[in-house]
């Protein structure tokens, strides 16, 4: 028995949802062995579940390595993903390789957490569709303000960063220097503190390249300098030292000095585990973002782009300022 035209149309309409496209949207972090980026991955998965027809692909290297990040982006493009959100490790290299490949293929890109450098964006303003994250200069300024609050007469500090050529981390370093010196710099990472407002940097920033254990070794070196009365403050623009399982062992001999704030630690990022150290008063303050929300908004922005919907070109994620007083509610 033949179906009537109306019956055939009804069958086709009923079956249509089975053929609805599933959008394959990828996130490529700087590193996967980091609670911050793990939280962005969770936000990615939650957003995909809420949207319903999205597959969240979270793929990256364990530690910061721009060439491996570039390779991962290129592989995702070969696999036919519909869009990619990138936390930029090194601006110029990516722009010249995998990101240029994405442009040739017409695959939309956005950045999250770490944007392309100002120079790259000026040269190629269409290199990405949107940025989802926080103002990295403001993160650095927040770290500097916390340190200024604790040391109003100044001191001798060492700054720790990830890569020396990381655009967003250099903005954070510049923010610290601006907050403490009272000067305005336009070219990251600013200028090394030489006594402005009582502040001096003992040495140029330490760089751990995203390795938590290397970051912790840097902190051990700083404590030795503290023992020699050469430094009294340590500021990290990311949470690497606190993401090491050996952090508590490292700070234990200096617990009294840290609790009395003879030696001050101010650390970037505000992961749940970092609040424990604020409670113990071995860290004075943390300044960070909301990585879970960042991951959600990155995927939702990509979804709007691939579906040709209106979207925000900059999605700002508010900062979190956590200290020994508000640590219980800081992440609420």
Contact 267, 241 (CB under 8 A): yes
Alpha-carbon distance of 16 to 8, in angstroms, equals 12
pLDDT at 211: 93
Alpha-carbon distance of 297 to 46, in angstroms, equals 10
Structure tokens at 254: 């200096």
Average the pLDDT over 160-165 and give the result. Answer: 95
Alpha-carbon distance of 115 to 87, in angstroms, equals 7
Task: Give the least confident one: 13-22, 60-69, 234-243, 316-325.
Answer: 13-22
Q: Please, what are the domains in the chain? A: 22-134+291-318 (3.40.50.2300), 136-288 (3.40.50.2300)
pLDDT at 9: 43
How far separated are the first and last CA of the chain, in Å rounded?
63
| Residues paired with residue 248 on neighbouring β-strands, in sequence order | none
Whole-prediction pTM? 0.88
pLDDT tens track for 213-229: 999 999 999 999 999 99
Output the CA–CA distances (angstroms, integers) from residue 219 to 118, 173, 188, 226, 293, in the order listed: 31, 17, 24, 10, 30
Alpha-carbon distance of 324 to 307, in angstroms, equals 45
Residue 327 has pLDDT above 60, yes or no: yes
Average the pLDDT over 253-279 and give the result. Answer: 97
pLDDT at 19: 53
pLDDT tens track for 59-105: 999 989 999 999 999 999 999 999 999 999 999 999 999 999 999 99
pLDDT tens track for 18-45: 457 899 999 999 999 899 999 999 999 9
HSE at residue 327, side-chain half, CA atoms within 13 A, is 21
């Amino acid at each position: 028995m033949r179906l009537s035209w109306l019956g055939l149309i009804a069958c086709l309409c009923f079956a249509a949802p089975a053929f609805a496209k599933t959008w394959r949207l990828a996130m490529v972090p700087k590193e996967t062995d980091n609670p911050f980026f793990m939280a962005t991955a969770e936000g990615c998965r939650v957003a995909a579940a809420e949207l319903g027809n999205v597959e969240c692909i979270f793929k990256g290297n364990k530690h910061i390595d721009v060439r491996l990040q570039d390779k991962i982006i290129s592989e995702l493009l070969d696999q036919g993903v519909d869009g990619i959100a990138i936390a930029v490790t090194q601006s110029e290299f990516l722009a010249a390789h995998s990101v240029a490949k994405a442009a040739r293929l017409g695959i939309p890109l956005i950045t999250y957490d770490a944007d392309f450098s100002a120079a790259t964006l000026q040269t190629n303003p269409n290199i990405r569709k949107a940025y989802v994250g926080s103002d990295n200069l403001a993160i650095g300024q927040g770290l500097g303000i916390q340190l200024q609050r604790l040391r109003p007469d100044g001191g001798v500090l060492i700054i720790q960063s990830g890569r020396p050529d990381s655009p967003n981390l250099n903005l954070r370093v510049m923010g610290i220097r601006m907050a403490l010196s009272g000067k305005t710099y336009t070219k990251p990472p600013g200028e090394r503190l030489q006594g402005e407002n009582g502040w001096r940097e003992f040495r140029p920033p330490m760089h751990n390249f995203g390795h938590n254990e290397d970051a912790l070794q840097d902190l051990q070196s700083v404590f030795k300098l503290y023992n020699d009365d050469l430094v009294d403050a340590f500021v990290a623009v990311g949470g690497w030292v606190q993401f090491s399982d050996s952090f508590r062992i490292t700070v234990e001999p200096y617990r009294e000095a840290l609790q009395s704030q003879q030696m001050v630690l101010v650390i970037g990022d505000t992961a749940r585990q970092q609040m424990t150290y604020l409670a113990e008063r071995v860290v004075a303050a943390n300044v960070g973002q909301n990585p879970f929300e960042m991951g959600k908004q990155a995927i939702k922005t990509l979804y709007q782009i691939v579906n040709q919907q209106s979207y925000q070109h900059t999605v700002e994620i508010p900062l979190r300022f956590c200290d020994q007083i508000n640590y219980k509610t800081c992440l609420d």
